[in-house]
Amino acid sequence: MRRALRHALTRSNGGSCPLPSAALFRRTMAGTAESIETTSSLPRMPDFDHSPRPYAGPSSAEILEKRKKYLNPGIFLYYKKPINIVEGKRQYLYDESGRRYLDAFGGIVTVSCGHCHPEIVDAIVHQTHLLQHTTTIYLHHAVADYAEALASKMPGNLKVVYLVNSGSEANDMAMMMARLYTGNYDIIALRNAYHGLSAATMGAAGLHTWKHGIAQGFGVHHALNPNPYRGVHGMDGKRYAEDVADLISSSTPGKVAGFIAETIQGAGGAVELAPGYLPAVYEQIRNAGGVCIADEVQTGFGRTGSHYWGFETQGVVPDIVTMAKGIGNGLPIGAVVTTPEIASVLSRCLHFNTFGGNPVCSAGGHAVIKVIDKEKLQENCAIVGGHLLDRLQQLKEKHEIIGDVRGKGLMIGVELVTDRGTKMPAKAETAEALEKMKDLGVLAGKGGLSGNVFRIKPPMCFTKEDADFLVDVMDHSLASL
């Protein structure tokens, strides 16, 4: 009996142990027929040909204690019982016991090509053996080659690259360049936006959950968020754009430095901008003397499936594009790409970045571009993302708690509400379901102002089988609330 039970539990966890939960383990040891039925009905993780290395490091409890003692308390953890991730391969992660998890969040939309992709690892290791660090005051082919490859992916005259270390730094620089180039000061951003946590980018954020009570972001004005699900104008992008025109005429000198927006808001809960919004707003901003900044930190590099860059889904070409996260598959790298005219403003005085353009990060970033093309990951995002969205729409018909399913490619949000009429956020239920999904082997994110949106943004090598397992686990978790 015990052997049969353990076999059933192992299968439910995709061939890995330990068991899904302590409660399930206790039921298993009781040896009841009910536990067999319960276990066999659990979603089964797809098979995966990889055996993690034995882990001999400190336990979760030891790490947590050390973290509490030595790390800043502002660094938060997911889950009531945090998991200790020690290894990753493609779209899967492994904890200290060797248990496998499906990574549906990609290290917060950062692991684009899959964990420890061999070609990216090889490029990083090869460059590390040769030269780990120089600076941009010397020549190095890795930096120039990478900039050329990145510029080749950009439309129009967006051909000049400045490499930095993070999305926050990229957006901070973009706003500074907009002000220098135009000679204007005011920046228009969106409510519900997130652009980083420097003083300037925190000011551009439209979510109070990411704002400290300090001087931040002077000259930033927040327009109505063109949210098709919760916004006052529904899907009418042009009507939301009218608010930007009103904002410029009422809250600025009539001239602005620029406008910054994500095409799909990440931390805000995978919110797509209403159709037709960006073309109308870009026209207004340029008429007011400003430049248009596209924050592609999360939507770039083919993740939307239909296009390589998120802004292309609205048929616009910005003046400045910022990127990070998936650009390096986990490396600390970001970039600002703009036109030669705008780029030239930084030459007015000395400007320097110690680690921007680091040869190791440049080699890794260049490998990312090659892998995305070689493995047709953008196409995979379109195919698998379309399948996943269809499955989630079907799940919405089954569960009244799902208020909205949205997104493009493999950048998807599932918003939970206590009532579809009032759209009251189901914050507690989202946290509980997220915990249940983790216990069943799926790691997802959450976002939105109320923390009531599942953020599904996995590595771009995700498969249809992974998508089906994810939906089945979500179904099981929501049904058990």
Output the pLDDT for position 352. Answer: 85
Regarding whether 325 and 344 lie in a shared domain, the answer is yes
What pLDDT, in 10s, does the model give residues 346-385? Answer: 999 988 899 998 999 999 999 999 999 999 999 999 999 9
Regarding whether 62 and 77 lie in a shared domain, the answer is yes
- 14 lies in some domain: no
Helix (H, G, I), strand (E, B) or coil at 170: helix
- 465 lies in some domain: no
CATH number at residue 425: 3.90.1150.10
Output the pLDDT for position 376. Answer: 98
Helix (H, G, I), strand (E, B) or coil at 171: helix
Tell me: pLDDT of 9 over 70.
Answer: no
Tell me: pLDDT of 38 over 60.
Answer: no
Q: Which residues contact 276 (CB under 8 A, 6 or more apart)?
A: 236, 237, 238, 241, 314
Output the pLDDT for position 40. Answer: 59
DSSP assignment of 60-101, as one string? HHHHHHHHHHHS-TTS--SSSS---EEEEEBTEEEETT--EE
- 2 lies in some domain: no
What pLDDT, in 10s, does the model give residues 402-413? Answer: 999 999 999 999
Nearest-5° angle of CA 6, CA 445, CA 47? 35
Q: How many helices (H) and strands (E) does the chain have?
A: 16, 18
- Cβ distance 336 to 174 under 8 Å? yes
H/E element, 340:
helix 340-343
Regarding whether 226 and 191 lie in a shared domain, the answer is yes
Tokens of 172: 């901070």
Regarding whether 420 and 322 lie in a shared domain, the answer is no
Q: Which residues contact 274 (CB under 8 A, 6 or more apart)?
A: 226, 227, 228, 231, 233, 234, 235, 236, 237, 240
Tell me: pLDDT of 36 over 80.
Answer: no
What pLDDT, in 10s, does the model give residues 91-128? Answer: 999 999 999 999 999 999 999 999 999 999 999 999 99
- 466 lies in some domain: no
Tokens of 112: 């684009």
Terminus-to-terminus CA distance in the chain, angstroms?
Answer: 30
Of 374, 402, 434, the residue that ends a domain is 374
- 53 lies in some domain: no
The CA distance from 282 to 206, in Å, is 19
Peptide bond into 18 cis (omega under 30): yes
Of 374, 400, 419, the residue that ends a domain is 374
- 300 lies in some domain: yes
What pLDDT, in 10s, does the model give residues 330-349? Answer: 999 999 999 999 999 999 99
**Other beta carbons within 10 Å of 48:** 18
Regarding whether 313 and 289 lie in a shared domain, the answer is yes
In terms of Cβ atoms closer than 10 Å to its own Cβ (0-12, 13-18, 19+), residue 102 is buried
Regarding whether 166 and 72 lie in a shared domain, the answer is no
The CA distance from 114 to 372, in Å, is 10
- 45 lies in some domain: no
Tell me: pLDDT of 435 over 90.
Answer: yes
Tell me: pLDDT of 8 over 60.
Answer: no
> 128: domain range?
118-374
- 11 lies in some domain: no
pLDDT tier, 41 (very low <50, low <70, confident <90, very high otherwise) = confident
Backbone phi, psi, residue 322, to 5°? -110, 150
